[in-house]
Amino acid sequence: MTTSTLSRTGPWPDAARPDSASADGAAPKEILHFIGGAYVAGGGGRRFENRSPVDGSLVSLVHEASRADVDAAVAAARAALSGPWGRMTVQERVDRLHKVAEGILRRFDAFLAAEIADTGKPQSLASHIDIPRGAANFAVFADVVKNVPTEFFELATPDGAGALNYARRGPKGVIAVISPWNLPLLLMTWKVGPALACGNTVVVKPSEETPTTAALLGEVMNEAGIPPGVYNVVHGFGPDSAGEFLTTHPGVDAITFTGETRTGEAIMKAAATGVRAVSFELGGKNPAVVFADCDLDKAIEGTLRSAFANCGQVCLGTERIYVERPIFDAFVARLKAGAEALVPGHPFASGTSLGPLISREHRDKVLSYYARAIADGATLVTGGGVPDMPAELAGGSWVQPTIWTGLPDDSAVVREEIFGPCCHIRPFDSEEEAVALANDTPYGLAAAVWTENLGRAHRVAGRIGAGIVWVNSWFLRDLRTAFGGSKHSGIGREGGVHSLEFYTELKNICVKL
Ligand code: NAD
C-alpha cells in the first residue's frame, strides 16, 4: 500500500479539520486510514463522499480500504500483540487507557464537531451522551480490568503435597470491531475500550456514514502512548469492501459487531471459517408497557425520549407502545403534543431538539414505513411526512416525528425495526395481554415498563423477553452491568466483567506442589 502524501499528522489536511471552518472552494477534508500508528491513504486510490445529513453538503472524502489495506491493518495489529503492548503490565495498560479518556475530553470540541458533521445530531445530545460516553468507555473498562478477580483453588493430591489450580486471563488476539452510525464514537469505543483493557489489539471498521471520530481517535491514541498497531482503523462499506475483507480475514481472532440483524447473519457466516468468536449487538423492535397506575408525567417524558431521541435512531428506542385502556386517550394526546413540540433544526441552533435521519437513503426506508402504515389502516395521530425546512437545510434528510394508532398486530410497521422517529400505540386490558403483546416479536433487545406498583414492575420485568428492561426509566444503566439482546437482537453480553468474558481467553493453570 502507498503511504499518504496528504497528511502525516492527522486524518485530514490541517487547513480542513472538521473543527475548523473551511473557506469556500477549499479542498474537501480527506479521511485516511489509521494503520500502525500513522494516517495512510488507501492503496487502491478509491474514495467515497461523506455528506451532511443536515443539508447534503460534502463533509469529507473518505478513503476506501482495499483488501491490501485491510491486510496491512491486520498485520500491524498482529505485530503489536508481541510488541511493547504485549509486554505491558495491566497497570501500564490501565494508565494509558485513562490517558485516552482524558485525551478525548481534552479535545471535546473537535470530537463534538466531527460527530455532528457526520450525524447531524443536536449539539445538546452529542455533548451530553456521545462524547462523554466515548471517554467513559476507556476509563470504566480500565478500572474493571484492574479489579476483576480470577479463580483460585487448592487441590488435594494422593501424595498429600497438593496443587494450586488457577485461571489466568490473557488477550484473545486481534479483534475486528464493526460499528454502526447512530452513536458512532460511543458504540465503537464501547468495544475498543474493553478490548484494549484486556490486552488485545483492534482493527476498527466504522460505518461508512460516520468515519470521522474513529479517525480522530488515532491522534489521541498516539498522544496517550498507545503503541503503534494497537488501534487501527480502515474505512469502507460492508459487502465486497472493508467490512467483508476484515471479517473474513484469517488474521482476525474474534469479531465484535453492532448493527442490523441481517448484517450479523452475514458476519456470523464469515466468522465460521476459522471458528472465530462473535459478540453481536443487533436490531430491536422494543416495547413500552404503560399501566394505568403509572406516573403519567414521567411515562410521557420517558417515552418521548425513547421514541424520538436521536431522531429515533437508537437501537434501544421504543417503536411499540402498549397503554392500559383507561389512560389510552390521555397518553396518545400527551405524546402527540410532546412530539409536535420537538424542534427540527441546525445542530448548533439553540432550541433544536430533533436532528435529521442519517441519510437520504435511510429516509426513503423510513418514509416507506410511513406509507405502509397508512396502507395497513393506521390512524395517523401526528407527522407522517417531511417537515418544511428553511432553504439552507432543505437538502437534509429531515422527517416528521410520527405516531400511529389502530394498526393490526401483524403489520410490518409493528413487527419490523424502522429506526426512525415513529411509534405505534395500542391499548391493552390486562397484565397478561400486555406481556403477550410485548413478547410478540422476533427481537429481544430492550423494554420499558411504566407502573407505580412495585410487585407488578418486578413481575412484568421478569416475564418480558429482552436483554434489558427499564422500570420507570429509559437509557439508564451502570456500564458495569451486562448489556445485550436475546433472540434476533444479539449474541452474548458486554459491559463490566461480561465484556471480559468475550475479550479474554481464560487459561487454566494447575501447579503440582
Ligand atoms: P448495518 O448493519 O447496516 O452496518 C453496521 C456496520 O456493519 C457498518 O460499519 C457496515 O459497513 C458494516 N457492514 C455491513 N455489511 C457488512 C458485511 N457484510 N460484512 C461486514 N461488515 C458489514 O447497521 P447500521 O445501519 O449502521 O446501524 C443500524 C442498526 O444497528 C440497527 O439495526 C440498530 O438496531 C443496530 N444497533 C444495535 C445496537 C445494539 O446495541 N444492539 C446499537 C446500535 C445500533
Indicate whether 12 belongs to any domain.
no
- Strand pairing category for 277-281 and 490-491: antiparallel
Residues in contact with ligand 1 (CB, 6 Å cut-off)? 178-182, 187, 205, 207-208, 237-239, 243-244, 247, 258-260, 263, 266-267, 281-284, 315, 417, 419, 445, 485, 489-490
Residue 269 domain-assigned (yes or no) = yes
Number of domain units in the chain: 2
Residue 343, SS3 per DSSP:
coil
The pLDDT value recorded for residue 27 is: 67
Ligand 1 atom nearest to 209, measured from its CA: 26
Residues 379 and 446 in one domain: yes
Mean pLDDT throughout 424-428?
Answer: 98
Cα–Cα distance measured from residue 165 to residue 196, given in angstroms and rounded to the nearest whole number: 27
Q: Cβ-count burial of 182 within 10 angstroms (0-12 exposed, 13-18 middle, 19+ buried)?
A: buried
Query: What's the gap in Å between 391 CA and the centre of ligand 1?
Result: 32
Residues 167, 41 share a domain: yes
pTM to 2 decimals? 0.94
The answer to whether residues 156 and 214 belong to one domain is yes
- Statement to judge: residues 74 and 169 lie in one domain: yes
Residue 5 lies in a domain: no
Q: Is 303 part of a structural domain of the chain?
A: yes
The answer to the question of residue 11 being in a domain is no
Locate 20 and state its grid cell: 475548523
- pLDDT digits over 446-477, tens only? 999 999 999 999 999 999 999 999 999 999 99
- Kindly indicate the confidence band of residue 507, based on its pLDDT and cuts at 50, 70 and 90: very high
Looking at the structure, tell me whether residues 472 and 495 fall in a common domain: no
pLDDT above 60: residue 6: no
Q: Which residues are catalytic?
A: 281, 315
Determine which residue's CA is closest to atom 28 belonging to ligand 1: 259
Ligand 1 center to 180 CA (angstroms): 5
Statement to judge: residues 221 and 82 lie in one domain? yes
Are 309 and 272 contained in the same domain? no
Q: Are residues 472 and 497 in the same domain?
A: no
Q: Has residue 23 been placed in a domain?
A: no
Q: CA neighbours within 13 Å on the CB side: how many for 173?
A: 12
Indicate whether 494 and 476 sit together in one domain: no
Query: pLDDT band at 197, cuts 50/70/90?
Result: very high
Looking at the CA of residue 183, tell me the nearest atom of ligand 1. 43
Q: How confident is the model at residue 83 (pLDDT cuts 50, 70, 90)?
A: very high
- Residue nearest ligand 1's atom 42 by CA: 315
Query: Are both 217 and 302 inside the same structural domain?
Result: no
228 and 298 co-located in one domain: no
Question: Domain range spanning residue 44?
Answer: 29-282+490-508
Distance 263 CA to ligand 1 centre (A): 6
Mean pLDDT of 372-401: 98
Average pLDDT over residues 137-164: 96
Q: Which atom of ligand 1 is nearest to the CA of 247?
A: 20
CATH code of 311's domain: 3.40.309.10
Residue 300: which residues within 8 A CB-CB, separation 6 or more?
A: 331, 334, 335, 338
Q: Is residue 202 situated within a structural domain?
A: yes
CATH number of the domain that residue 112 is part of? 3.40.605.10
Contact of 387 with 347, CB cutoff 8 Å: no
Residues 452 and 311 in one domain: yes
330 within domain boundaries:
yes
DSSP states of 223-287 as a string? HTTPPTTSEEE----STTSHHHHHHT-TT--EEEEES-HHHHHHHHHHHHTTT-EEEEE----EE
